[in-house]
Structure 1
Amino acid sequence: MGLGELIAKYDVPGAQVAVLTGGEIRDEAAGVSSTGGQVTSDSAFRVGSITKIWTATLVQRLVDEGRLDLDRPVCRYLPGFTPSLTARHLLTHMGGLDSNHFFGIGRGDDALEKYAGALAAAEHPIPPGTVFSYSNSGFVVLGRLVEVLSGKPFHDVLRERLVEPMGLRTVATEVGHGTAPGASDFAMSARELLRFVRLHLDDPKLAVLRETQVEAVPDFGSGVLGWGLGWMLYLDGVVGHIGVAKGRKAFLRVVPDSGTAVAVLTNSADSELLAREVFTEVLKSSETPPSPATQPGAIADWMCGTYRNQLYDITLATEDERAVLVYRPRTELGRAKRVEVVRHGDSSVIGVTPTSDGYQVFSLVGEDESGRARFLHNGSAAYRITPPR
């Protein structure tokens, strides 16, 4: 099925798909852009958190040059952070930094400096190294590390060390130009994203970024089994990343052993199924999305209670013989909601109503002194603040 048929099938306005095989890149574009024009091979799509791999690449260059030690305390470079926090923690999302810290620090060249300072002064209840918890904030700190050790704004370092040497033409490094650099918010074409991937496959020094650092990531329904230094690790030696950016989604899968890679960039927030079909066709992917059991087990008392992150207090409870997750906003950025769930395996629950990405999985992770779950995990960890009812 061609890309034009796929975007019609999944009601996606516009998309690009690029495939790297045998060192060559083929690409296809279809649909319309957000401005109403035709999507072409040169159209730039926001790639969201796929930016994190670019940040990890810059960090590794600094390591290779002897300017950064991944296991040295970050506070040696950026004063104010706890001495137990390292750059390796940040690259592997083990830093204990909530993903959703927002500060009113403006949009200038000093945005990362101000953000890192505010983040260092904030409260962080989860100690570094305790649990995997996906963190945009942590990668913003890495972006600031790149600035400090390079003596230049992050987007200038990115352009000078990666974009220009590779001769990339569609990469926009200052999209939004706020606190996102280092974590998300670049734009590029699918073809040029795969040129960047080809750099990783050709440069032996970058292979270390794909080595397993976190062997067991809590199940959150994404198919991710582990984590490298920036890379998500999937089944059968596949690595990749996903990006979300204001109504757009981007998907990347790489098979290093065969030198194959696929990039799917879209201008829709509801494009997970389209990407999955592309990966199944090109990579013969065997990923099976999770779904609720027809006769799930009961929610255990050790699972129930209230868990907290930066945006919400989330209560897992049973009401009228049904289990629900109740989200209570802690800031004006959150929105109250209820999600009905059922038991999913030994230590997780799953939503009974699918979202555009499929069924949401929430893992119960760790154990406190009373034998209760310590964290509620859906990619990022929320920590327990109350006992079960």
Structure 2
Amino acid sequence: MNDTAEWLRRRLPELVAEHGVGAQVAVLADGEIHDAAAGVLSTATGEVVTTGSLFQIASITKVWTATLVQELVNEGRLDLDRPVRDVLAGFRPVITPRHLLTHTSGIDGDLFHDTGSGDDAIEEFVARLADARQLFAPGAVWSYCNSGFTVLGRIVEVLRDKPFNTVLEERLAAPLGLAVTTTYAQATAAHAVGHEDGQPVTDPGPESDWPAGSALAMSARDLLAFARMHLATPAFAVMREPQVLLPDFGNRASWGLGWELPGYSGGAVIGHHGSNRGLASFLRIAPEKGVAVALLTTGGDARAVFDHVIDDVFSALAGVRRPESPVPPAAPEPVDERFLGTYRCAGHEVVVTQADHGRVLVDLDDDAREFVALRGDALIAVDEPHTVLVFVNDLVHFGRAAVRT
């Protein structure tokens, strides 16, 4: 770990300066956690990031929610394969908690409702999802689903008879001795502020979808304490088992019960990542090696910093390598006209139109770029980042599945 500590001390400030982020990194190896911090929490205040600063972990919260669900399963209080409506009266979609944990429920993934921040916020949020449409049959397609994890949070509330945040603090944060915050109201000067184009984000958005990742904040060190608890608890090992293959974006990824399995070579790797208006968070764990890294950032090119942390630290300690990202073929085939059309889901629109030289123009949420054929069922963006779109029947898949209209 001496080399790791030296890398953190020397290299992190360089990366932060190069890519314009404020950041914390923590590394778990040989049972010890080393961490470092660099940059500022807010360009408005100039407050410096320390290893004790708190960052929103955004969608990594989903693993915390999944852990609370798994505890209920371990206690015999919840069956992952029984309908959600067995627990939530009035919830009409015929789906199971397993569908929700694995993002295969088929319900629109980005249905966001601001129902406040009171103890009834999640109950009200889920009530508005009671008649949510299903884009595809349960279990048919993986499609990242924020809405589903808010439903899981409501299941936790009903079976524990307490507000979700209270359960999270009592069952996870307090036993681990972690300093976390669960609402924006708890934020202080020690909290990182999101940045977009170098400017602080003053309105982080609604926090009523807590279980999906709106407000939970902590340090990178505390996030790894949670990860270490997972590795030391045999009853949670089932959460790391592959449940469903993801569409083939070129990275051989699958999904467990809340965990992403990103398809590294050299050994098993699990993790999750998150983003929330100018903030980004990354967690990777090699369970067989007892190695983990957490990176929490505000502003700038967080992905570039993450790639350095993975390649220079995580891969070296765990003996694993992240999958190579696909690139456009040197001589791509013309794009099949069957891909042309307009596809929609909640919060997203994809319009595919013909362009010159066998290419197509893909307008994804008003961001128009040229794509070429990657293979028979997929397109890839010509310029970096080389986004991949996978087509399945009348769906286009970009992490979310959108339906042809």
**Distance in 2 between residues matched to 1:359 and 1:7, nearest whole Å:** 24
2-structure distance, mates of 1:103, 1:16: 31
Is the contact made by 2:23 and 2:39 (CA closer than 8 Å) also made in structure 1?
yes
Q: By how many angstroms is 1:98 displaced?
A: 1.5
Pair 1:272-2:292 in alignment: no
Is 1:191 aligned to residue 221 of structure 2?
Answer: yes
- 1:181 matched to 2:206? The reply is no
**TM-score, normalised by the number of residues in structure 1:** 0.89
Q: What percent identity do the matched residue pairs reach?
A: 47
Q: Where does the alignment leave 5 or more consecutive residues of structure 1 unmatched?
A: 328-334, 366-372
Structure 1 residue aligned with 2:343: 307
**Kept after mapping to 2: 8 A contact 1:175/1:187:** no
Q: Secondary structure at the match of 1:249?
A: strand
Q: Which amino acid aligns with 1:374?
A: D
- d(CA) in 2 for partners of 1:173 and 1:106? 14
Q: Which amino acid aligns with 1:198?
A: R
1:47, 1:341 → 2: CA distance?
32
Distance 1:175 1:158 in 2: 16
Equivalents in 1 of 2:33, 2:348: separation in Å? 43
Give 1:324's aligned residue: 361
The structure 1 residue matched to 2:332, chosen from 296, 306, 314, is 296
Deviation at 1:283, TM superposition (A): 2.4
Aligned mates of 1:340, 1:382 — CA distance in 2: 19
Q: How does 1:1-389 map to 2 (within 5 A)?
A: 2-12=11-21, 14-34=22-42, 35-82=45-92, 84-169=94-179, 171-175=180-184, 178-185=207-214, 186-214=216-244, 216-220=245-249, 223=251, 225-234=253-262, 235=264, 236-268=267-299, 270-284=301-315, 285-321=321-357, 322-327=359-364, 336-354=366-384, 358-365=385-392, 373-385=393-405
Runs of 5+ unmatched residues, structure 2: 1-6, 186-205, 316-320
Question: Alpha-carbon deviation of 1:109?
Answer: 1.6
The structural deviation recorded for 1:326 is 2.9
Q: Which has the higher helix share?
A: 2
Whole-angstrom distance in 2 between the partners of 1:139 and 1:120: 14
Deviates more, 1:229-238 or 1:299-308: 299-308
Partner secondary structure for residue 277 of structure 2: coil
Contact 1:219 1:362 in 2 (8 A): no
Cα distance per residue 1:360-381 (max 9 Å; x no partner)? 111112xxxxxxx321001110
Give how far 1:165 is off: 0.5
Deviation for aligned residue 1:383: 1.5
SS at match of 1:266: strand
Superposed CA offset, 1:85-117 (max 9, x none): 000000000011222112343332211111111
CA distance in 2, matches of 1:9, 1:345: 36
Q: What's the offset of the Cα at 1:147?
A: 0.6
Partner amino acid, structure 2, of 1:154: F
Shift of 1:313: 3.6
Contact 1:108 1:178 (8 Å CA) reproduced: no
Please tell me the residue identity of whatever aligns with 1:278: V
Distance (whole Å) between structure 1 residues aligned to residue 367 and residue 37 of structure 2: 37
Contact 1:375 1:384 (C-alpha < 8 Å) held by counterparts: yes
For the 8 Å contact 2:53–2:219, the answer to whether it is kept is yes
Tell me the distance in 1 between the aligned counterparts of 2:348 and 2:57.
26
Query: Shift of residue 212 of structure 1?
Result: 0.5
TM normalised by structure 2 equals 0.86
Superposition deviation, residue 182 in structure 1 = 0.7
Partner of 1:331: none
Distance, in Å, in 1 between the alignment partners of 2:161 and 2:336 is 53
CA distance in 1, matches of 2:249, 2:91: 29
- The residue type equivalent to 1:180 in the other structure is D
CA separation of 1:179 and 1:269: change in aligned 2, threshold 3 A: farther
* Residue 75 of structure 1, CA deviation: 0.5
Structure 1 distance, partners of 2:356, 2:12, is 46
1:307 to partner: Cα distance: 1.6
Q: Deviations over 1:216-264 (max 9, x none)?
A: 201346x461000000002231110011011010111000001000111
Asked whether the 8 Å contact 2:125–2:209 carries over to 1, the reply is no
Distance in structure 1 (CA, Å) of the matches to 2:225 and 2:333: 47
- What is the RMSD computed on CA atoms of the aligned residues? 1.7
- Counterpart of 1:132 in 2: which secondary structure? coil
Q: Deviations over 1:30-49 (max 9, x none)?
A: 11112421111100111110
